[in-house]
Amino acid sequence: MVGQRAVATTVGFVFTAVGIPGFIGGGFVVDLLALTMADSVLHLVVTLGLLVPGLRLDTRAPAHA
C-alpha cells in the first residue's frame, strides 16, 4: 500500500512538473489534496483528470502573456 502511494505521488509530481508549465501551481495543490486523501488510485485520477482541463483553465491565467 505504501509503495503504491509513493509511486502514485511520484507519477503525479512528474506529470505536474513536465506536463503544463502554466498550470504547475495548481498541479501541486492537486497533489497535496490527493496526498491528504491518501489514496493512490484517486491521486492518479485526480491529477491526470485536472491536467487536461488545466490546458483550458490556463487561458485565463497570465502565463500566456
> How much is the pTM?
0.24
pLDDT, tens digit only, all 65 positions of the chain: 556 677 777 766 766 655 555 454 555 666 665 555 555 666 666 666 666 555 554 445 455 44
| Helix (H), strand (E), coil (C) string for the chain | CHHHHHHHHHHHHHHHHHHCHHHHHHHHHHHHHHHHHCCHHHHHHHHHHHHHHHHHHHHHCHHHC
